[in-house]
Amino acid sequence: MTTEQAQLTEIRNQIDSIDQQIQDLIGKRAECAQKVADIKTQGGNVNAVFYRPEREAQVLRAVKERNTSLLPDVEMAKLFREIMSACLALEQPVSVAFLGPEGSYSHASVVKQFGSSAHSVAVSTIEDVFSAVDKGDANYGIVPVENSSEGVVKSTQNELIKTNLKISGEVSLAIHHCLMSKSTAHENIKKVVAHQQALGQCETWLKNNLPWAEIEAVDSNALAAKMAQEDESLAAIASEQAAQLYQLIILDSNIEDFKDNTTKFWVIGKEDTQPSGEDKTALIISIHNKAGALLDILESFSKRDINMTRIVSRPSTDKTWDYLFFIDVLGHKDDENVKEALEEVESKAAFYKLLGSFPVSPL
């Protein structure tokens, strides 16, 4: 045996020993998770809540803070995300509704937020995501809220106005679109199909590279990939994962017009989320028709040093030339200063709806 072979053998033996220790510790963590489940279900409690987004956020933040390894903080957190997902599945498998079918960006956001052990429930529309959670067909749902280049997702806005569900988490996902087809040649493509948001995110690229192709919006990018699988004259815009899942040829990658293209998703559920230490609160308001009304409301936050991270307006469907404002602020609704501000805003607003408080995502 050469010196190099001997060195490699010694290091591999160390790796094997470390792997055994890691496996033993994961097993002990799983036992603790099972004990948590036993405590929560004592006395036949069928309404026990197993998924606690604030607790998971705290654990993942701690993982990143104490990380001194060669692995980047986010990569270390991703590893723990999967361990936590598997352990949670021992307590109670969590079902999550998303805009399907599999291979959509919504599906990718489920895996990022809940890990691979969550049970994904594919539905046909964003409205169906809300309905599945409301009816109890899924514990939680994930819906797209806003894209960095195309703006808000109106279907999600519409449902947020009507729903009694609460926001319990936030996921940001980098979006990189691929053009895919059964055909190997661009000139054979007669039509490009994708979700309306994806078509908008790739509008300039499509005009420059496929000016002859008809453009058609469908319910999801994954559905587009499924359609392209059945018709060689179609090309779909979807993720690399979708191309693999539906056995399509990727003709072009990263065709989005803006390379920092990102979509924000919200987790919706029935339970309130407790403070995690780093939180956001989301609400919807409309204002009275008088001078300075919006400024008066925003001062409720500014005078308490509450940072507003997002404000988006849209026309109200109830009254002509009336507007609704979707507002996100830093802090939890139970924080004393945020609680005071929200009470003040509610007293000043013509319409007020609190959507919920949720952890700032560690991922």
CATH number of the CATH domain containing 230: 3.40.190.10
Residue (of 347, 202, 208) closest to 285 by Cα position:
347
Within-domain flag for 134: no
Query: What's the angle, vertex CA 73, arms to CA 67 and CA 74, rounded to 5?
Result: 145
Task: Look up 309 and say whether it is catalytic.
Answer: no
Is residue 254 domain-shared with residue 281, that is, in the same domain? no
φ and ψ of 146, to 5 deg: -160, 145
Within-domain flag for 338: yes
Domain, as residue range, for 249: 178-259
pLDDT value at residue 277: 94
pLDDT value at residue 101: 80
Q: What CATH number did the domain enclosing 323 receive?
A: 3.30.70.260
Within-domain flag for 207: yes
pLDDT value at residue 321: 56
Residue (of 117, 114, 115, 116) closest to 141 by Cα position:
114
Alpha-carbon distance of 67 to 48, in angstroms, equals 33
pLDDT value at residue 82: 94
Number of helices (H), then strands (E), in the chain: 12, 15
Domain count, the chain: 2
pLDDT value at residue 2: 87
252 alpha-carbon distance from chain centroid = 25
Query: What's the angle, vertex CA 129, arms to CA 125 and CA 131, rounded to 5?
Result: 110
Model's pTM, two decimal places?
Answer: 0.85
Within-domain flag for 246: yes
Is residue 293 domain-shared with residue 338, that is, in the same domain? yes
- Are 94 and 125 in contact by the 8 Å Cβ rule? The answer is no
Task: Look up 265 and say whether it is catalytic.
Answer: yes
Residue of 80, 114, 265, 326 marked active site: 265
Residue of 263, 273, 281, 301 marked active site: 263
**Mean per-residue pLDDT pooled into runs of 10, the chain (363 residues):** 88 95 95 87 73 93 96 95 91 88 87 92 94 96 90 91 95 93 94 93 95 93 92 94 93 92 94 95 92 90 95 80 89 97 95 96 86
Within-domain flag for 265: no
Alpha-carbon distance of 146 to 240, in angstroms, equals 21
- The pair of three-digit structure tokens given for residue 351, joined into one six-digit string: 């319409």
Hey, which bits of 153-290 come out as E strands? 166-174, 178-181, 191-195, 214-218, 234-238, 249-253, 262-269, 279-286
Is residue 351 domain-shared with residue 293, that is, in the same domain? yes
Within-domain flag for 306: yes
Residue 47 in 3-state DSSP? coil
> Which residues, in sequence order, are bridge partners of residue 119?
95
pLDDT value at residue 190: 96
pLDDT value at residue 260: 87
**Largest interatomic CA distance in the chain:** 86
